[in-house]
């Protein structure tokens, strides 16, 4: 056989596109054909394993495929196997406010060596707390662990989350981390309290960027929709695991500013494995989804289009997007905007200065300029939607405002819902507005207000995204938290891993367990806003007693030798008997005093404090028996 040259050789082939064009290519020398291998029967199970190993994602064994997918479902729904069960690290969570109530939110999150505070909010007093303007959390536990605290982190700018900050910072100071709006709102409070220097503690953060705080914490702020702009949930990473705290939230897919809840980051942490979730329970009894803020706009448009006079819109001063929607309608209908109410003016100014909302400043007028314009050319945005007796709207309604008085043809919009406990106040202000001849749009328009808190379906979505091992419902009364806890169980959290906390309870969490370890001092501190100082508990109790039971004051002069009255005693009572009965009541007390002196032990006359205490008991016993009251008794005895 002729030997083949091992060097490459050239052949000529024709191009398919042109018979006239030839091109060269190279070929390797031919080799002898190999004998074909015998065919082997295909082993499906072997190929399935090979396919599975090679990552092709399919198998031919359907039962096996089902079992594989079942495991995948279990793993994605319960990613807790990713938690470090070998760690000895512990996370402690201690709420100091916000549980079994609406408002006053404050929580401490601790490791062995460090701690952070989440929000420092205030709440409002009930009608029996006379002379009390606001309530703040008891800071006793904060004082005890002061040296451990490395930061205060803020979720959003509502009063029930930042309102107590000035009172905390009068005692102790820490770095404050948060987004621009809540920090500036806190700054405004510091300015009012003459604490401007504390602005130096501000640390403005960027969302979606984990920040190292101290040695033990890494915190990321995630955007959340709520009834105030620039709200956040926080992911708090520690050696023990990740804690997600939602803050107040709803899941609005079409918010006014176009920035919906950051579901992607929540899901990201859910896939990583979340140790514990603390989540807003306020609307736990509300089925379905909370309506989007945008539903209010068409209602405003309908009211503005038919208004024959001035439009007066009142809402919560912090609801910037609600105010912005009203202003947009005013501009469309050619109305100037007058903003009245200190908190409303302040919050709107902050939001505009920081760039959250943008409106031409020449469209705004002052209160004293309102009467220069035709009624159909004016929108008044004001506070007072909760019927506060000192609010601008209330003073307008009863004609006590310096520049503006409600009159016939005025269209009032109350774009809010009465906070529990404020129903009577709201009803009162509506009556005043109607008596003044105004038209009031309130509950007869279902979309005049929407909540800022998540309904049940949004709570379920949060639970499914985060997939926590342990669940602690927060922010709300006991019944709200209990209902939210059941929703958590329905969404796959084990019943034994759900705990309904109370203020002051310290919960210890590790990847292996959750348990209550102790109770710390908690409660409320009464604040007089006029003087910006604390009111002691006994003062409030005395005021309650005087309001409910009345007061009796006795001034008497006694002869020690014969234990008789030196002169007729002075007796005054308030809130116990009517003016007509007063002289009979005075005679009763004189008789009681005479009998008391006849029977009193001689030694008691030498100790005024004991003498007055004994007289107090005798007079109170008489009032309780005859008048079924337990009044405050104030005796002043002079012994000569």
Residue 365 is predicted with a pLDDT of 97
Q: 91-288+452-528: what CATH class?
A: alpha beta
| Residues contacting 19, CB < 8 A, separation 6+ | none
**Which part of the chain is CATH 3.60.15.10?**
91-288+452-528
What are the phi and psi torsion angles at 313 (to 5°)? -110, 125
- CA distances to 11, 232, 315, 365, 415 from 339, rounded to whole Å, are 91, 28, 12, 8, 15
Annotated catalytic sites, by residue?
A: 280, 453
Q: Which two tokens stand for residue 441?
A: 């749009």
**Which part of the chain is CATH 3.40.50.10710?**
304-441
What b/e readout covers 289-303, taking b as 16+ CB neighbours within 10 angstroms? bbbbbbebbebbeeb
Determine the Cα–Cα distance for residues 465 and 459; give it in Å rounded to an integer. 10
Q: Tell me how many degrees the CA angle 310-315-319 measures, rounded to the nearest 5.
A: 125
Nearest to 250 by CA among 225, 278, 213, 214: 225
Determine the Cα–Cα distance for residues 67 and 76; give it in Å rounded to an integer. 14
What are the phi and psi torsion angles at 553 (to 5°)? -115, 130
- CA distances to 559, 594, 600, 608 from 564, rounded to whole Å, are 5, 7, 11, 15
Q: Which two tokens stand for residue 280?
A: 């807003």
Distance, first Cα to last Cα, the chain: 152
What are the phi and psi torsion angles at 335 (to 5°)? -110, 140
Determine the Cα–Cα distance for residues 586 and 564; give it in Å rounded to an integer. 17
CATH architecture of 304-441: 3-Layer(aba) Sandwich (3.40)
- CA distances to 380, 397, 398 from 371, rounded to whole Å, are 12, 16, 18
What are the phi and psi torsion angles at 491 (to 5°)? -95, 20
**Which part of the chain is CATH 3.10.20.580?**
550-639
CB atoms within 10 A of CB 587: 11
> Could you give the angle at which helices 320-332 and 342-354 cross, rounded to 10 degrees?
80
Q: What is the mean pLDDT of each run of 10 residues along the chain (640 residues)?
A: 42 41 44 54 49 62 91 87 93 97 95 98 82 90 98 97 96 98 97 95 98 98 98 98 98 97 98 97 97 96 96 95 97 97 94 96 96 96 90 94 94 91 90 96 92 97 97 96 98 97 98 97 87 78 85 88 83 89 89 86 82 90 90 89
* Look-up of token digits 């950051």: 262
Q: Which two tokens stand for residue 201?
A: 């503690």
Residue 453 is predicted with a pLDDT of 97
> Are residues 116 and 245 in contact, defined by beta-carbon separation less than 8 angstroms?
no
- Whether the model clears a pTM of 0.95, i.e. scores above it, the answer is no
Q: 550-639: what CATH class?
A: alpha beta
Residue 15 is predicted with a pLDDT of 42
Q: Which two tokens stand for residue 627?
A: 């008048």
| Residues contacting 70, CB < 8 A, separation 6+ | none
Residue 2 is predicted with a pLDDT of 42
Determine the Cα–Cα distance for residues 94 and 109; give it in Å rounded to an integer. 7
Determine the Cα–Cα distance for residues 482 and 484; give it in Å rounded to an integer. 5
């Amino acid at each position: 056989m002729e030997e083949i040259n091992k060097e490459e050789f050239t052949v000529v082939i024709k191009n398919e596109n042109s018979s006239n064009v030839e091109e060269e290519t190279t070929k390797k020398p031919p080799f002898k054909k190999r004998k074909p291998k015998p065919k082997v029967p295909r082993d499906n199970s072997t190929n399935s394993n090979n396919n599975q190993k090679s990552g092709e994602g399919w198998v031919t064994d359907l039962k096996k495929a089902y079992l594989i997918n079942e495991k995948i479902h279990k793993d994605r729904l319960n990613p807790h196997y990713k938690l470090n069960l070998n760690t000895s690290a512990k996370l402690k969570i201690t709420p100091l406010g916000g549980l079994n109530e609406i408002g006053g939110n404050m929580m401490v999150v601790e490791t062995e060596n460090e701690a952070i505070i989440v929000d420092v909010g205030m709440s409002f007093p009930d009608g029996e707390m006379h002379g009390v303007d606001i309530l703040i959390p008891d800071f006793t536990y904060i004082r005890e662990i002061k040296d451990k605290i490395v930061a205060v982190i803020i979720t959003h700018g509502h009063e029930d989350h930042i309102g107590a900050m000035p009172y905390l910072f009068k005692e102790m100071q820490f770095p404050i981390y948060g987004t621009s709006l809540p920090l500036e709102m806190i700054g405004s409070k510091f300015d009012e309290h003459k604490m401007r220097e504390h602005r130096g503690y501000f640390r403005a953060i960027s969302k979606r960027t984990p920040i190292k705080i101290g040695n033990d914490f890494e915190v990321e702020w995630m955007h959340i929709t709520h009834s105030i702009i620039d709200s956040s949930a926080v992911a708090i990473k520690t050696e023990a695991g990740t804690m997600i705290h939602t803050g107040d939230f709803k899941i609005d897919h079409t918010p006014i500013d176009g920035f919906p809840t950051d579901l992607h980051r929540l899901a990201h942490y859910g896939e990583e494995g979340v140790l514990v979730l603390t989540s807003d329970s306020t609307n736990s009894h509300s089925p379905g989804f909370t309506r989007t803020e945008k539903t209010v706009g068409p209602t405003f448009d309908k009211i503005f289009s038919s208004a024959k006079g001035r439009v007066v819109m009142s809402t919560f001063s912090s609801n910037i997007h609600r105010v912005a929607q009203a202003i947009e309608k005013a501009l469309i209908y050619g109305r100037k905007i007058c903003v009245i109410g200190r908190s409303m003016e302040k919050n709107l100014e902050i939001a505009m200065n920081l760039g959250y909302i943008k409106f031409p400043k020449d469209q705004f007028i002052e209160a004293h300029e309102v009467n220069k314009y035709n009624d159909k050319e004016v929108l008044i945005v004001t506070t007072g939607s909760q019927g506060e007796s000192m609010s601008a709207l209330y003073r307008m309604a009863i004609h006590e405002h310096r520049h503006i008085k409600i009159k016939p043809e005025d269209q009032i919009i109350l774009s809010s819902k009465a906070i529990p406990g404020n129903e009577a106040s709201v009803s009162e202000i509506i009556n005043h507005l109607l008596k003044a001849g105004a038209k009031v749009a309130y509950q007869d328009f279902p979309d005049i207000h929407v909540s800022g808190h998540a309904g049940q379906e949004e709570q379920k979505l949060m639970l499914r995204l985060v997939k926590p091992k342990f669940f602690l419902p927060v922010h709300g009364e006991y019944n709200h938290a209990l209902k939210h806890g059941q929703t958590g169980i329905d969404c796959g959290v084990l019943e034994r891993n759900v705990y309904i906390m109370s203020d002051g309870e310290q919960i210890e969490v590790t990847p292996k367990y959750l348990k209550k370890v102790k109770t710390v001092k908690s409660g409320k501190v009464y604040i007089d806003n006029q003087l910006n100082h604390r009111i002691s508990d006994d003062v409030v109790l005395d005021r309650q007693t005087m309001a409910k039971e009345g007061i009796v004051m006795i001034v008497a002069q006694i002869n020690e030798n014969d234990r008789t009255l030196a002169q007729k005693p002075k007796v005054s009572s308030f809130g116990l008997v009517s003016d007509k009965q007063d002289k009979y009541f005075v005679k009763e007390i004189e008789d009681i005093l005479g009998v008391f002196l006849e029977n009193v032990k001689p030694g008691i006359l030498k100790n005024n404090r004991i003498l007055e205490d004994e007289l107090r008991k005798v007079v109170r016993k008489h009032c309780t028996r005859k008048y079924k009251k337990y009044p405050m008794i104030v005796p002043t005895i002079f012994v000569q």
